[in-house]
Amino acid sequence: MDEFSFINSIKQHTYQQSSVVKGIGDDAAVFRQSSQDIVIAKDMFVEGVHFSRQTMEAYHIGYRALAANLSDLAAMGATPAFYLVAIAIPDNWSSLELDQIYQGMKVLGKKYKMDLIGGDTVSSSELTVSVTVIGYVGSGGARYRNSAQDGDIVFVTGTLGDSQAGFHILNNPGNYKNEAYFIKRHRMPTARIEFVKALKDCTRLSLNDISDGIASEATEIAEDSDVHIHLYEEQIPVSKLFTQFPPNLQHKWKYFGGEDFELVGTIPKNEWSIVQQAAISTNIRLSQIGYVTAASNVKDRVFLHRRNGTIERLDKKGFNHLRR
Amino acid sequence: MDEFSFINSIKQHTYQQSSVVKGIGDDAAVFRQSSQDIVIAKDMFVEGVHFSRQTMEAYHIGYRALAANLSDLAAMGATPAFYLVAIAIPDNWSSLELDQIYQGMKVLGKKYKMDLIGGDTVSSSELTVSVTVIGYVGSGGARYRNSAQDGDIVFVTGTLGDSQAGFHILNNPGNYKNEAYFIKRHRMPTARIEFVKALKDCTRLSLNDISDGIASEATEIAEDSDVHIHLYEEQIPVSKLFTQFPPNLQHKWKYFGGEDFELVGTIPKNEWSIVQQAAISTNIRLSQIGYVTAASNVKDRVFLHRRNGTIERLDKKGFNHLRR
């Protein structure tokens, strides 16, 4: 396999999106969009930092890399349309594994009718995947972090901490209940694309996807909206067998673990029923976990009301690259 | 410096493009484009493969990474609008160097009124930069590789082989003439954006940028257009002091070296004067280097007419990643 035949092997022969003008096969791709806004996000995923061959098979690396980007589109209220993949591949990855990385992305591409329209393929000493995703949203309809207001309900989709639990199981082999569930949540997270589509009638909605832990993501909403957010420990949703893990790990994973790719959002009370209906129609778990208050200072942003009645400040403590 | 303060440090406070709706600071960026086609390209640039600290300073790494992507936009006939940067950074790069990488991109961003609207920042053991660029082109106006026809003139901008000569000088210190010129051509290539803009009245034009060597790029045009391309050795443009290098290296760098980021194109004879005028108005060197003939077979694509009268087939022999 060489670079050119590899590019041929991943090239789509037909495109699902009618807005594509030119896909893979020239210096760049071309598309056309006159009625909607264009949403674009880009991520990077590095062997040894984000994953290892012990925790991910090739298929999962591709799946997760695209899913993480789809989650960014979901958090903007956008519908996926295209993706581009730049990949740096070491010698010790086989052609088959390389193919499986792309298969992991293709299955999501097919699910959401996304087209692979470009990218780059280079050699390296550690596997690095960078995905760029493009989606569409009605003109002016993107959902930002800056829309929370005093009195809003704070909600979250799904359950929190599962991805880190799966990662823990992979790195600490033992006798766990429901291993497969947690491992799947780590390797194959689900972006909440359909749920967000069902929220289109909300007039004001802030959204953020949980890539760095809810403490960090809720803080971003609170900062950008200049509000306080109050969360209730007893309302933070966890999966059925999450309590099998030590309490200190549960706490860490739930609030600071991240990579669950669930959504945290805020909504005015009078539109809460739209969100509830969206959860029912798309068959996902939805939890009211707190409320928004006006900001009385700019230092404290998110408060956790513990089961024991104490109130703690929740700080941004998610994974922070570059910390030296 | 941590990830979040770093992102703040690179964030633009104002945007130059009126089509930007949301830049850096949410889950994704948003822009709006109703009258033109959108062109997107993505590259990846790896320490130890594409560059080393011996051959590039931090500033050049950023400059060259964005310039290479701009060259793809030029080869599509597009005007740059946005860029996104995903970067994986090892511990042994300082905050200052990191800042200089972005400075190298910013200077080009300013030159072309491009906005940095997103990306990702992660840690790693080798520096990897992936740039995504977005540009605009009049609806249906993108320039592809498939437009060459029998009788067209083949042209190239600038001079070929200089980047590889610069790379050679950096890796083989010695007593060369005009070192600074060759090194600059390697570290700070110029995408031919203005020249391509001046070609807007051409009715039929194929374009490809020379990232992998003219043998490879001309072959791509010949294959996609199903034609033969004839090139004349004596017409291939080289810079004044290029002849100081050994003839075998000159040959290799000119035809197979790449990374000059010049443009090779084909144009009908009756529109050659538009191309000549564009070169004059944008002050770049332009050379007619050959012509296009109808394809008589699909195996041979590009022929080099040597000074000694012989004709050789020029194969794709540029740098090929993944070759195992």
CATH of the domain at B122: 3.30.1330.10
A1 pLDDT band, cuts 50/70/90, is low
Q: Which of B132, B142, B139, B138 is nearest to B29 (CA)?
A: B132
- Note whether B73 and B37 are within 8 A (CB): no
Using an 8 Å Cβ cutoff, are A168 and A259 in contact?
no
CA angle at A29 for the pair A208 and B256, rounded to the nearest 5°: 125
d(CA A237, CA A287): 7
**What sections of chain A are H helices per DSSP?**
3-10, 58-75, 95-111, 162-171, 179-187, 193-197, 214-225, 247-252, 272-281
A82 and A41 in a single domain? The answer is: yes
| Both tokens assigned to A175 | 């006798």
Give the model's pLDDT for residue A124. Answer: 92
Going by their DSSP bridges, the two strands B36-46 and B128-138 should be labelled as antiparallel
Mean of the per-residue pLDDT values for chain B?
Answer: 93
Based on the domain organization, do B53 and B111 belong to the same domain? yes
Q: Does residue B275 surpass a pLDDT of 60?
A: yes
Same domain, B183 and B120: no
How many domains does chain A contain in total?
Answer: 2
- Whether residue B250 is predicted with pLDDT greater than 90 in this model: the reply is yes
Q: Are residues B60 and B37 in the same domain?
A: yes
Instruction: Judge whether residue A237 has pLDDT over 90.
Output: yes
Among the partner residues B28, B48, B50, nearest to A40 by beta-carbon distance: B28
- Rounded CA-CA distance A106/A112 in Å is 10
A27 contacts in B (CB within 8 Å)?
Answer: 41, 71-73, 75-76, 145, 207-209
Residues of B in Cβ contact (< 8 Å) with A50 = 122
pLDDT in tens, B225-249: 999 999 999 999 999 999 999 999 9
Smallest Cα distance from B241 to chain A, Å: 31
pLDDT confidence bin for B324, thresholds 50/70/90: very low
B114 has a pLDDT exceeding 80:
yes
Instruction: Check B123 against A27: CB less than 8 A apart.
Output: no
Distance CA B248, CA B184 (A): 22
Same domain, A181 and A245: yes
Which of A22, A42, A115 is most worth mutating to test chain B (most B CB atoms within 10 A of its CB)?
Answer: A42
Residue of A nearest to B71 (CA): A27
The tokens of A144 are what?
């930002």
Supply the pLDDT for residue A324.
42
Q: What is the DSSP string of A246-294?
A: -HHHHHHIIIII-----EEEEE-GGGHHHHHHHHHHTT--EEEEEEEEE
Name the pLDDT band for A13 (thresholds 50, 70, 90). Answer: confident
A152 appears as a binding residue in the annotation: no
Confidence of residue B14 (pLDDT cuts 50, 70, 90): confident
What is the spatial distance between Cα B237 and Cα B158, in angstroms, rounded to a whole number?
Answer: 7
Q: Is residue A224 a part of any domain in this protein?
A: yes
**B170 and B279 fall within a common domain:** yes
Chain-chain contact of B123 with A322 (C-beta, under 8 angstroms): yes
Q: Cβ separation of A46 and B123 shorter than 8 Å?
A: yes
pLDDT interval class at B34 (50, 70, 90): confident
Q: Is the pLDDT of residue B72 over 80?
A: yes
Q: How many CB pairs under 8 A join A and B?
A: 241
Q: What is the mean pLDDT of residues A163-169?
A: 96
Same domain? For A131 and A167 the reply is: no
How confident is the model over B197-207, as a mean pLDDT?
A: 96
Does B31 appear as a known binding residue? no
Output phi, psi for A216, to 5 deg: -70, -45
- Under 8 Å CB-to-CB from A228, ≥6 apart: which residues? A222, A292, A293, A294, A295, A296, A300, A301, A302, A303
The answer as to whether A321 is a domain residue is no
How many C-beta atoms surround the C-beta of residue A135 within 10 A?
29
Output the pLDDT for position B270: 98
Cα–Cα distance between A58 and B49 in angstroms, integer? 23
Q: Which domain holds residue B210?
A: 153-313
The residue among A75, A105, A138 that closes a domain is A138
Which residue of chain A is at minimal alpha-carbon distance from B145?
Answer: A26
Q: Are residues B198 and B130 in the same domain?
A: no
DSSP state of B35: S
Query: Are A324 and B91 a contacting pair at CB < 8 A?
Result: yes
Closest CA to A230 of A153, A296, A287, A145: A153
Residues A16-30: tens digit of each pLDDT: 888 999 888 888 999
A88: β partners: A122, A128
pLDDT level of residue A8 (50, 70, 90 thresholds): confident
Of A46, A71, A84, the CB nearest to B132: A84
Tell me what the mean pLDDT of segment A260-286 comes to. 98
Q: Is residue A144 part of a domain?
A: no
Single residue among A109, A138, A167 that ends a domain in this structure: A138
Whether residue A103 is contained in a domain is answered as yes
Q: Tell if the CB–CB gap between B84 and A132 is shorter than 8 Å.
A: yes
Find which of B7, B36, B130 to mutate to test the A interface (most A CBs within 10 Å of its CB). Answer: B130
CA distance B246 to B164: 13
Residue A259 annotated as lining a ligand binding site: yes
The per-residue pLDDT for B320 is 57
Question: So what's the pLDDT on residue B321?
Answer: 57
User: Average pLDDT in the B247-268 region?
Assistant: 96
Is it the case that residue B134 has pLDDT exceeding 60?
yes
Query: Is residue A33 domain-resident?
Result: yes
Q: Is A43 annotated as a binding residue?
A: yes
A119 assigned to a ligand binding site: yes
- Rounded to whole angstroms, the Cα distance separating A170 from A154 reads 32
Residue A230: CATH number of its domain: 3.90.650.10
The number of angstroms, rounded, from the C-alpha of B265 to the middle of its chain's C-alpha atoms is: 13
A53 band by pLDDT with thresholds 50, 70 and 90: confident
Residue B41 in tokens: 């390209």
CA separation for the pair A167, A60 (Å, rounded): 13
Same domain (yes/no): A182, A308: yes
Which residues of chain B have a CB within 8 Å of the CB of A138? none
Please say whether the beta carbons of B77 and B143 come within 8 A: yes
Do B106 and B43 sit in the same domain of this protein? yes
Could you tell me if residue A108 is inside a domain? yes
Which of the pair, A83 or B317, is modelled with greater confidence? A83
How far apart CA B140 and CA A21 sit, in angstroms, is: 8
Residue (of B4, B98, B88, B3) closest to B46 by Cα position: B88
Q: Which residue of A has its CA nearest to B74?
A: A27
pLDDT tens-place string over residues A202-212: 999 999 999 99
Question: Are residues A31 and B40, on separate chains, in Cβ contact within 8 Å?
Answer: yes
From chain A, the residues in CB contact with B209 under 8 A are 27
B77, two tokens? 């006939």
Does residue B276 share a domain with residue B234? yes
In-domain check, residue A9: yes
pLDDT, residue B54, reads 86
**With contact defined as beta carbons under 8 Å apart, do B255 and B313 qualify?**
no
E strand residue ranges, chain B: 20-22, 29-31, 36-46, 79-89, 115-123, 128-138, 153-157, 206-209, 227-232, 263-267, 286-294, 302-305, 311-313
Higher pLDDT, B54 or B117: B117
CB distance B38–A32 less than 8 Å? yes
Q: What percent of chain B has pLDDT over 90?
A: 81
B209 has binding-site annotation: yes
- State both tokens at B199: 């070609």
Chain A residue nearest residue B216, CA to CA: A4
CB contact under 8 A, B122 and A1: no
pLDDT of residue B1: 58
pLDDT in tens, A96-110: 999 999 999 999 999
Distance CA B245, CA B65 (A): 27
Q: Please give the Cα distance from B214 to B226 (Å, whole number).
A: 17
Do B127 and B158 lie in one domain? The reply is no
B120/A130 touch (CB, cutoff 8 Å), yes or no = yes
Residue that is last in its domain, among B138, B161, B193: B138
Rg (CA), chain A: 20
**How does pLDDT run across B185-197, given as a tens digit for each residue?**
999 999 999 999 9
Instruction: Please identify which residue in the block is written with the tokens 């860029």.
Output: B83
Rg (CA), chain B: 20
Q: For residue A324, is it within any domain?
A: no
Q: What confidence category does residue B24 fall into, taking pLDDT thresholds of 50, 70 and 90?
A: confident
**Rounded CA gap, B246 and B254, in Å?**
12
Residues in CB range of A288: below 8 A, 6 or more apart: A153, A154, A155, A235, A272
Mean per-residue pLDDT for B167-177? 95
**Chain B CA closest to residue A263:** B27
The predicted structure's pLDDT at residue A320:
57
Name the DSSP class of A51: B
